[in-house]
Structure 1
Amino acid sequence: MQGKQYDFNKNWKFYLGDLEDGASNELDDLNWRPLNVPHDWSVEFSFDENKGEGCTGYLLGGIGWYRKSFIMSEETKENITYICFDGIYNNAEIYVNGEMVGDHPYGYAPIYYDISKYLKSPGEKNIISVKVDHSHYADSRWYTGSGIYRKVDLVVVDKLHIPIWGTFITADEINEESARVNMKVTVENRYNEDKDFSISTKIISPSGKEIINSCQSQNIKANEEQYIEQSFKVDNPKLWDINSPLMYTAVTAIRSHGNLIQEYKTPFGIRSIEFDSNKGFYLNGRRVPIKGVCLHHDGGLVGAAVPAGVWRRRLKKLKEAGCNAIRSAHNPCSEEFLNLCDEMGFLLQVEFYDEWDNPKDKRLNMEEKGKDYITSGHAEHFQQWAEKDLKATMLRDRNHPCVFQWSIGNEIEWTYPKNKEATGYFGAEANGNYFWELPPYNREKIRDNYYKLPKEKYEIGDTARKLADWTREMDTTRPVIANCILPSASYESGYADVLDVVGYSYRQVVYDYGHKYYPEKPIMSTESVGQWQEWKQVIEREFVAGMFIWTGIDYMGEANNQWPNKGLSCGMIDFAGFDKHSFHMMKTLWQDEPHVYLTSQNIEESIYEIDESKEVVDKDKDGWKKRLWAWHNMNRHWNYDNEKQIVVEVYSNCPMVELLLNGKSMGKKYLKDFEDRIYKWVVPFNKGTITARGSMNGEIVIDEIVTSGKPAGILLTIDKKQLIADGTDVVHVVAQLVDKDDIPVYNKEKEIKFNVKGECRVLGVDNGASSNVQDYQATTITTNKGRCLLILQSTEVKGNIEVTAESCDFKSETFKISVVE
């Protein structure tokens, strides 16, 4: 706790539209909408094919005002009061009692303000007003949301205090016997006189035991800031790790004349990280391949205001697949997300920017042809705000043990034309085939080309150096990285010079090139497609530290001219959090436990054909080697016309799999015989049960699909039976169509209506399909693959919730969920 920290998320009022007097205390806001934040107003709109833009998911923005009344107590009269916003999207103006406190254009960085001088006397009503201008609603290449979409805190401290984000903890000299914990504490004296004080720190172990208690006396000058460094030896340290994410807590107290005036808690982890240019990545002294995914910040039907429970469900699913790392593409994530990564054992790359000096064309991805009012993005504010936003993000994030990389940018090279022109990829000699071809020019020619071209207003190497220097000013314990789409140019432009690790974006073809010519620089893939061929390239090269798949979860946006598709469905998990075929393929690659997963398709609708030996072969010979984002069209059902030739695919890490149809063996096959790591059979369809039986080290694992009849009922499942009455907890309700025998129906769709009774908020519905443009804020939806999702959120009232689902023909049983304190 930083002094007295107040949850400032409840009892706001909201008005959608612009007002000249929106910040005035005299404004009548009686008819404004009451709500709690975090709040995203864009996700409440209908998808709009005409006014909306595919780059931001066909959902509009606009201007909105938020207001909150509050009264300060007498005890806060002589103290300092801060207001801290974890994220407002975007172009925010903050007012207290009609006076402007500050503005903040960047929607992803946290920010805080000292509002002490704007407050009225204790006992009198104060009003905080926030104007959010997202009228540039196509200012990004993905869905952003609009509003105060992350949490808000009010913090009250003595004039002698540790400010917000005022501690920094690192650990080194780590071994089994001990570790050294280093702590840097910022203390601020806002009094007009010097102050004597004592500062003490207790270290609490993961088991809750106090293991260290240190105290020292200090003096600080009037109106000055002081940095106090402490160092502690921790015996037999419990390390934070992806498989055992153990956390310590430092409790720092400031006392003056024996009186406690502030207690500040800092959770932290003890762990070591290292990138080796020949051996890859090491966590706590052991080599760990990075099995990562990129994630945008939206949570499907909840938009950008994502409750922690929604993220928890999604991250738990990714963990099941063996994922151990997240890239916050392409911007800082919320503090809640960081806390979950700490708790659940995910490494996290914090990425700062998608644009630097020059804009990206939001409608024409990577073809910078122009812009207009609605597409004006953060590049317009970069010169003024880049340093402040980067450092604020790092101050908030740098105590989190999950954070293992700072990324200064994503695919920035496109916006500096010299990079593209220097590579040789885009002339007549190469025709832009940078995905699969080695650089057409050698290093010397690329360098020559780059420096012969006219100097640009902003040079990529210069800006990269500024960002890297600011990053290292805040933290030198984690490497600086960037996602480079044209590394052959980045190595020669000065960009890669300032990076500790060079990230490659879809550039597996230059792994060996990069390692050969720049052997001192560790490399990894910071953006890859979720296919076997990408992982194969990594595991065959010890010097490649790992990869981040684009993407872990489907996301809204980047869907220009693709209506009704509102986003990209290249994720391992869909918009509603349901796993997809690629999820199971990656699980067979990333997990050691045996796994089998069965899919099927009509041969004529598949990517396959039958060769002369009656074997299933790819129509595009060796096509698997160059497959990109979309998984090929396969079904998770066993419903076809009798005697039709059906391709059965099985994704498995078992060395042998047997396929059975209604108990009859269709043959055993061996993984070593499938270069693409996909087991394949062709069988004539007969209804019944298709079964895949895998064997690994004596353990048998089975997956099967049963032919279903027509839909005759709805099966409801929930991920928890009890909610906490805190106004934030959520429950996911999944409705699955079933036939008369309760067999899941995956190949027929029905409109389903959810009926909800009791104290809760209906956050919305979704079916997971990228083509679903039904309103999220509803209780009725058409299924996709026979299923759909409802998310409910608790209020602050105890009681019971009852949920049923119905179609025009049938109804589910009633589910009861209790809401407790």
Structure 2
Amino acid sequence: MKHLFFFFALSLVLFACSEAPEQISHHTAEETSRTDRSLGPQNFNEGWLFFEGDSKDFVAADFDDSAWQNVRLPHDWSVAHPFDEKWDGATAYLPGGLGWYRKRFKSTSDANDTLTFINFDGIYNHSSVYINGKKIGGEVNGYTPFTLDLTAYLNPVGEDNIIAVRVDRTRYIDSRWYPGSGIYRNVHLYQKPKLHIPVWGTYLTTPNISAEAGLAELTVTLHNREDAENTTLLRTRVLNAKGEEVAKHEEAVSVPARGEAEFTQNLRIDSPELWGIASPYLYSVVTELLSDGQTVDKITTPLGFRTIEYKPDSGFYLNGEHTLIKGVNIHHEAGLVGAAVPEDVWRRRLLTLKEAGVNAIRMAHNPASRELMALCDELGLLVQAEIFDEWDYPKDKRLNQQERHDDYISRGYADWFQTHAEKDLKAAVMRDRNHPSLIMWSIGNEIEWTYPRYAAATGYFDMNAGGNYFFNPPFISPEEIKQRFETSEEGEYVLAKTAQKLSAWVKELDTTRPVVANMILPSVSHISGYTDALDIVGYSYRRVIYDYGRRLFPEKMIMGTENVVQWHEWKAVLDREFIAGTFLWTGIDYLGEAHGGWPRKGVASGMLDLAGFKKPSFHMFKSLWNDEPNVYLTTQALDKSVYTLDKDGKVVEKEPGSWEKRVWYWHDVQGHWNYKDGESTVVEAYSNCDSLELFLNGTSYGKQNLADHPDRVYKWSVPFTSGKLEAKGDCGVSNSVVTAMAPTTLLVDTDKTAITIDEKTVSHIEVQLSDKDGNPVSHQESTLTFIVPDGLRLLGVDNGWVNSVQDYQADSVKTYLGRALGIVVGEKVGTYEIKVISEAGGEASIAVEVIW
């Protein structure tokens, strides 16, 4: 099956309203020249008040909320709490609860000729929205974007309105990971004429792309609230990255009274630039409604020309070129900011992952924010957009595999799936279907655990079955699996039927991308009818049956949709042309799903830690997923390592071949060269050089060839002597580590020395302990204090360690591996000096400028 298309994210120009005193919002030239506010979305994140608690009085327009907390959205109230063992590790030992938000804003237009809508990109969860005391909507699902019409409830022009939002997260273990609490995504206000383009009113596809021309087909939906038929001029222009017009289509259109209509416009772009991983070129498609020559409504839709194709025998093709999917899974939170993630936090993390060679992101396991999707468009990252983690039956949030708890606090989305699934799925598809980065829709994650017939049919979980499903092919034949499945009780809900329904709903709105699911028990899913609903079959931790799946079910493309961050998983892809690639679990450590006991608050399976710092597995995959030569050294005391020495003094595994079965976490290594004199150590190097030579203080410890290491890890036995350890590659690169002394100074750096005043922009303040000679110290720790002046606000501090339960929203933090992070936002124009002081001695400062 071939899919030709381009996609183009709904990237809307934002501008601020309800500005707080001394806060200046960043406006584009286009925005500041506007006199008609109906031409785009208004940033509605400023000027909110928040209270953690509940009362029926909070709805009232005249309620006195003067003592409430001032907040700028997005906002997550749970991450502001201390970690506490009395809560549950599934959601990171942080509470849920009840919270209210209120905001005053003036009516600026007459309801007789202007409509006012509010769009929430996500509220976690069970939200209720009130305007001037009247309930007008809300959503159960915390990931569902939704739009409400405020028009009929607004007061006359010039008068105040009160919007109030109640958020009920008393089911605080309703997720298997940390979801956050509150209005944790952006909010926008829209003012539109009665004949208008709705918020998600464009759908853009490319039916034909060649070197000579790109054909774009734009479907525009118009709504008419007038009592009479309404006619307007519908004009669409395509602008290139320089802002130059390269295509145009306009026509007069009519929409019936109190009705809606769809119109298709075809646009031809000569010699189109393609959207791709290395060069993600984006056009802008500007669609306008004109009345008497004046623009009265407008929406801008980025356009990326690209083709995608999926072949069962040879995998994935982007723009006609075979492309291995080098993907990672990420959750929607980001360490110290919780679920309310500023755009710049995602930017830093995604750019770091790209440095490792990552070219694809799986949004696990629910729709991501609009801003995160748009960033993937901008940065050239392919996206698998996932919609549900639960279907008909619930997952156990505190454990896994099957439901063991039925208490109120753990009730999740499955309780509402029957009534809400279609609406929530279609909202996700309509919002995101214009993104060029999006290459496949995932309708479900490891759903089979929850259906009673599946686990028993595998044969893996019988009392007499040896081994485990992670590394063993099925113990029984496909025929016996099928016989077990078909003779078992069907149950109230049938997984295959639900999958068919979900897939059909996706394709009602988007036929340009394939539908996939992440299968934890594919040996059953292949014979149960589940895969019949899918275009691509995703395997979760089942690389051991890639050949089995290809041999028995060759008609559909197979790929890894969850695999551990280990070389053996990628080797399984390289060894099989028919496997399209993988999404590793995970790109970044994440909060929650912590079943190992306090104080572990998250999962350390990522290439990056909770603070976005690089881990050893990052460097391994950088050597696997990049052609550019690189080398990275790690060390460990021999007795603490996974190695021993053979009779010839060669470093070998304590358990031969164990590298092929390592799973969730990278083995324990260090980034320093600080041990006892004469102590036996193992030095490891991760590199794509064909050979490396190791030197200690200029003395060679031998040259080794990568071909002699099936685990792709160079290894030397080295008795410790202080000094400089260096690995030199035949490919012209080297890496070294130096014995460090006591930490007496600090190295401070930032990714941004200038930031603007908005919810998107932050500066990451990275701090590394160092000795008097400037050598990084990672074998000793110290408590750091961040002194942040007025004009900036410290969002929080972190050291990245999943076992650290220090408060995030504090000004001090004990380092881990000698490093720590602070994140600041701008609140007032000026230049400010941030000072960091170490308890062990030493201080440093860095300047950050806040601009319009």
> TM-score band, normalised by the shorter chain?
over 0.9
Aligned to 1:48: 84
8 A contact 2:342–2:759 mirrored in 1: no
Deviation at 1:146, TM superposition (A): 0.2
Task: Establish whether residue 3 from structure 1 lines up as the match of residue 39 from structure 2.
Answer: yes
Deviation at 1:494, TM superposition (A): 1.3
Structure 1 counterpart of 2:795, which letter? Answer: L
* Counterpart Cα distance in 2 of 1:6 and 1:517: 54
Aligned to 1:399: 434
* Counterpart Cα distance in 2 of 1:15 and 1:539: 53
* Counterpart Cα distance in 2 of 1:61 and 1:127: 25
Q: Which of 53, 57, 66 is equivalent to 1:30?
A: 66
* Counterpart Cα distance in 2 of 1:771 and 1:550: 19
147-156 vs 746-755, greater mean Cα deviation: 746-755
After TM superposition, the structure 1 = structure 2 runs for residues 193-342 of structure 1, keeping only pairs within 5 Å, are 193-342=228-377
Task: Establish whether residue 778 from structure 1 lines up as the match of residue 814 from structure 2.
Answer: no
Aligned to 1:769: 801
* Counterpart Cα distance in 1 of 2:642 and 2:735: 23
Aligned to 1:159: 194
Aligned to 2:482: 447
Structure 1 counterpart of 2:353, which letter? Answer: L
> Residue by residue, what CA displacement relative to the aligned partner does 1:256-296 show, whole Å, maximum 9, x if unpaired?
34443212211121111111000100000000000000000
707-716 vs 327-336, greater mean Cα deviation: 707-716
After TM superposition, the structure 1 = structure 2 runs for residues 52-91 of structure 1, keeping only pairs within 5 Å, are 52-74=87-109, 77-91=112-126
Structure 2 counterpart of 1:405, which letter? Answer: M
Structure 1 counterpart of 2:790, which letter? Answer: G
Structure 2 counterpart of 1:739, which letter? Answer: D
> Residue by residue, what CA displacement relative to the aligned partner does 1:674-705 show, whole Å, maximum 9, x if unpaired?
01000000011100000011122xxx111100
Aligned to 1:176: 211
Aligned to 2:6: none
* Counterpart Cα distance in 1 of 2:773 and 2:603: 36
Deviation at 1:807, TM superposition (A): 2.4
> Residue by residue, what CA displacement relative to the aligned partner does 1:711-752 show, whole Å, maximum 9, x if unpaired?
111221111211113354211111111112111111001111
After TM superposition, the structure 1 = structure 2 runs for residues 394-793 of structure 1, keeping only pairs within 5 Å, are 394-431=429-466, 433-696=468-731, 700-793=732-825
> Residue by residue, what CA displacement relative to the aligned partner does 1:578-637 show, whole Å, maximum 9, x if unpaired?
000000001100000001000001111100000012110000110011110110011100
Deviation at 1:172, TM superposition (A): 2.7
Task: Establish whether residue 794 from structure 1 lines up as the match of residue 826 from structure 2.
Answer: yes
Instruction: Say how many residue pairs are matched.
Output: 816
Residue aligned with 2:41, SS: strand
* Counterpart Cα distance in 2 of 1:76 and 1:654: 68
Residue aligned with 1:680, SS: strand
8 A contact 2:633–2:684 mirrored in 1: yes
8 A contact 2:248–2:267 mirrored in 1: no
8 A contact 2:692–2:727 mirrored in 1: yes
Task: Establish whether residue 389 from structure 1 lines up as the match of residue 424 from structure 2.
Answer: yes
* Counterpart Cα distance in 1 of 2:42 and 2:137: 21
Structure 2 counterpart of 1:649, which letter? Answer: E
Structure 2 unaligned residues grouped into runs of 5+: 1-11, 13-37
* Counterpart Cα distance in 1 of 2:436 and 2:796: 34
- The share of aligned pairs that are identical, in percent, is 48
> Residue by residue, what CA displacement relative to the aligned partner does 1:314-342 show, whole Å, maximum 9, x if unpaired?
00100000000000000100011011101
Deviation at 1:561, TM superposition (A): 4.4
Taking structure 2 as the reference length, what is the TM-score of the superposition?
0.95
* Counterpart Cα distance in 2 of 1:428 and 1:726: 58
* Counterpart Cα distance in 2 of 1:316 and 1:76: 45
* Counterpart Cα distance in 2 of 1:650 and 1:253: 57
Task: Establish whether residue 810 from structure 1 lines up as the match of residue 846 from structure 2.
Answer: no
Structure 1 counterpart of 2:628, which letter? Answer: E
8 A contact 2:361–2:382 mirrored in 1: yes
> Residue by residue, what CA displacement relative to the aligned partner does 1:542-600 show, whole Å, maximum 9, x if unpaired?
11000000000000001024210100101000011100000000110000000100000
Aligned to 2:135: 100
* Counterpart Cα distance in 1 of 2:352 and 2:150: 42
* Counterpart Cα distance in 2 of 1:814 and 1:519: 60
Structure 2 counterpart of 1:710, which letter? Answer: A
* Counterpart Cα distance in 1 of 2:760 and 2:350: 18
8 A contact 1:426–1:432 mirrored in 2: no
Q: Taking structure 1 as reference, are residues 233 and 123 closer, same or farther at Cα in structure 2, changes over 3 Å only?
A: same
* Counterpart Cα distance in 2 of 1:704 and 1:363: 43
8 A contact 2:330–2:361 mirrored in 1: yes
Instruction: Return structure 1 stretches of 4+ with deviation > 4 angstroms.
Output: none
Residue aligned with 2:843, SS: coil
* Counterpart Cα distance in 2 of 1:163 and 1:13: 29
Residue aligned with 1:385, SS: helix
8 A contact 1:758–1:802 mirrored in 2: no
* Counterpart Cα distance in 2 of 1:38 and 1:17: 19
> Residue by residue, what CA displacement relative to the aligned partner does 1:334-372 show, whole Å, maximum 9, x if unpaired?
011011101111001110011001100111122322221
Deviation at 1:26, TM superposition (A): 2.0
> Residue by residue, what CA displacement relative to the aligned partner does 1:727-778 show, whole Å, maximum 9, x if unpaired?
5421111111111211111100111111111301110000011111000000
Aligned to 2:15: none
Deviation at 1:76, TM superposition (A): 5.6
Deviation at 1:195, TM superposition (A): 1.2
8 A contact 2:746–2:769 mirrored in 1: yes
Aligned to 2:5: none
8 A contact 1:554–1:572 mirrored in 2: yes
* Counterpart Cα distance in 1 of 2:53 and 2:464: 53
Residue aligned with 1:813, SS: strand
* Counterpart Cα distance in 1 of 2:80 and 2:421: 31
* Counterpart Cα distance in 1 of 2:189 and 2:455: 47
> Residue by residue, what CA displacement relative to the aligned partner does 1:508-566 show, whole Å, maximum 9, x if unpaired?
01111111111111010000001110000001111100000000000000102421010
8 A contact 2:40–2:299 mirrored in 1: no
Structure 2 counterpart of 1:804, which letter? Answer: K
Deviation at 1:206, TM superposition (A): 2.4
> Residue by residue, what CA displacement relative to the aligned partner does 1:621-667 show, whole Å, maximum 9, x if unpaired?
10011110110011100001111111000000000101000011111
8 A contact 1:77–1:121 mirrored in 2: no
Structure 1 counterpart of 2:648, which letter? Answer: S
